[in-house]
Amino acid sequence: MIRFDSVTKRYPDGTVAVDRLSLEIPDRSITVLVGPSGCGKTTTLRMINRMVEPTEGTILLDGEDSRKQPVTTLRRSMGYVIQNAGLFQHRTIVDNIATVPRMLGWGKQRARERAAELMERVGLDTSLAKRYPYQLSGGQQQRVGVARALAADPPVLLMDEPFSAVDPVVRKGLQDELLRIQDELGKTIVFVTHDIDEAIKLGTMVAVLREGGRLAQYAPPAELLSGPADGFVEDFLGADRGIRRLSFFPSTALELTTDAVVPADAPAARIAAVEAPYLLVTGPDGRPLGWAERDALTAGDVPAERLLPYGRPFVPGTDSLRVALDCAVLSPTGWAVAVDDDGRVTGVVSQQTIGEAIRAAHTAGRADGEKVAG
């Protein structure tokens, strides 16, 4: 565990970058430091591996003062990933990744084998091994940066705005990849970002810092969204925090109905029995084809091109309430389509039913909160 004990960083000109920060960073989880520019989040991160020395206070690693061990030993026990990756452009990808193992005295062959293994782990094709950094895209370079930091299998990973410089699509891919790697490896990750959405997506715990390096709130993301500590945190979270909080509720409990789901070749009597004004027509493989008006359908076959698009389906159990609600909002009929992992329709659910599920989830969330508080 990394513990900040009343840590202050004051520069010679009097600026206070971090102000009496006390923080406990749990093991084997992702802790995100987030805040506007000038809030001291990068300084905080850099004090962990002593790239910046604190003016006052101590940082404890598993109870030991971080200043007790030689600085290079300390840094070699922590992976370090920075914005734009900071790759060595004169070295091949495989040699970039092998840097720390080589510093630790591994043989060349073993270090390269380890590097190849890590390339696969971070989703890089090993055919890129002999390339040079300039031959890779920004996203690929960042993956190399992560692989390089993981090379010597350090227990701690420090990441300083690692995904800020890539485009949103690539960024989402890198974030998903990080979560997957974290599931496999269980590192203690400290992650700095100015992007609150990134913080909420990645963080097990999120520390919101404000200008002048003071801690505004330290909480799990769901708690941050449901109960911001003050106006600053609320502003920083942005306008639609209620909607975003739905990401933390599963869609498993949604009551699906199959009344309005009919196969394309259903008899007229079956269609006439439906009470809803719209019907979801499914193909022979059970996949959705589109919505049709009941009255139009009883009059005969509705050709495929006249069916209303069903939008995007959601997968109960995998997707959150937020995704289910989004599907319902995007659907022209106001009903969301639920499918199983193979894309076969399992039912449909109305905005109204989703609304009820949200209210129920909030009530349960509050009850949980009281239990925790009590």
Partner 1 sequence: MNVLNFVNAFFSDASHWQGYDGIPQRFWEHVQYSVLALALATAIGLPVGLLTGHTGRGGNALAFIANAARALPSFGLLVLAVLLIGFGLLPVMIPLVVLAIPPILVTTYEAVRSVDPAPVDAARGMGMHESRILFQVEVPVALPLILSGLRSAAIQIVSTATIAAYVSLGGLGRYIIDGLYQRDYEKVVGGATLVAVLALATLALFWAAGRLAVSPGVRRR
Among 31, 99, 140, 217, the residue binding partner 1 under the rule CB under 8 A is 99
Among 151, 192, 143, 156, which residue's Cα sits nearest to residue 49? Answer: 156
**What are the φ and ψ backbone dihedral angles of 50, each rounded to 5 degrees?**
60, 30
Contact between 138 and partner 1 by CB under 8 A: the answer reads no
Residues contacting 304, CB < 8 A, separation 6+: 289, 290
CB distance 74 to 66 below 8 Å = yes
Q: Which stretch binds partner 1 (CB under 8 A): 59-67, 126-134, 176-184, 221-229?
A: 126-134
Residues 152-171 that bind partner 1 (CB under 8 A): 158
The one-letter amino acid code at 119 reads M
Q: Which stretch binds partner 1 (CB under 8 A): 1-9, 16-24, 127-135, 269-277?
A: 127-135
Among 7, 18, 33, 100, the residue binding partner 1 under the rule CB under 8 A is 100
**What are the φ and ψ backbone dihedral angles of 310, each rounded to 5 degrees?**
-90, 5
74 or 170, CB closer to partner 1? 74
Among 36, 38, 57, 86, the residue binding partner 1 under the rule CB under 8 A is 86
158 or 174, CB closer to partner 1? 158
Among 194, 189, 221, 197, which residue's Cα sits nearest to residue 210? Answer: 194
Shortest reach from residue 107's CB to partner 1, in Å: 18
85 or 200, CB closer to partner 1? 85
Residues 243-282 that bind partner 1 (CB under 8 A): none
Provide the token pair at 50.
């002593």
E strands in the chain: 2-10, 16-25, 30-34, 56-61, 64-65, 78-82, 156-160, 188-193, 205-210, 214-219, 261-263, 278-282, 288-293, 335-339, 345-350
Among 71, 25, 76, 78, which residue's Cα sits nearest to residue 50? Answer: 71
Contact between 91 and partner 1 by CB under 8 A: the answer reads yes
String of contacts with partner 1 for each residue 176-205, x by CB under 8 A = ------------------------------
Among 134, 275, 300, 342, the residue binding partner 1 under the rule CB under 8 A is 134
How far is residue 130 CA from its own chain's centroid?
Answer: 31
How far is residue 344 CA from its own chain's centroid?
Answer: 27
Provide the token pair at 248.
């933390």
String of contacts with partner 1 for each residue 40-79, x by CB under 8 A = ---------x-x-------------------xxxxxx--x
The one-letter amino acid code at 29 reads S
81 or 279, CB closer to partner 1? 81
Contact between 84 and partner 1 by CB under 8 A: the answer reads yes
78 or 302, CB closer to partner 1? 78
Contact between 80 and partner 1 by CB under 8 A: the answer reads yes
- Please give the residue ranges that form the binding site for partner 1 (CB under 8 A): 49, 51, 71-76, 79-80, 82-92, 99-100, 103, 132-134, 145, 148-149, 158
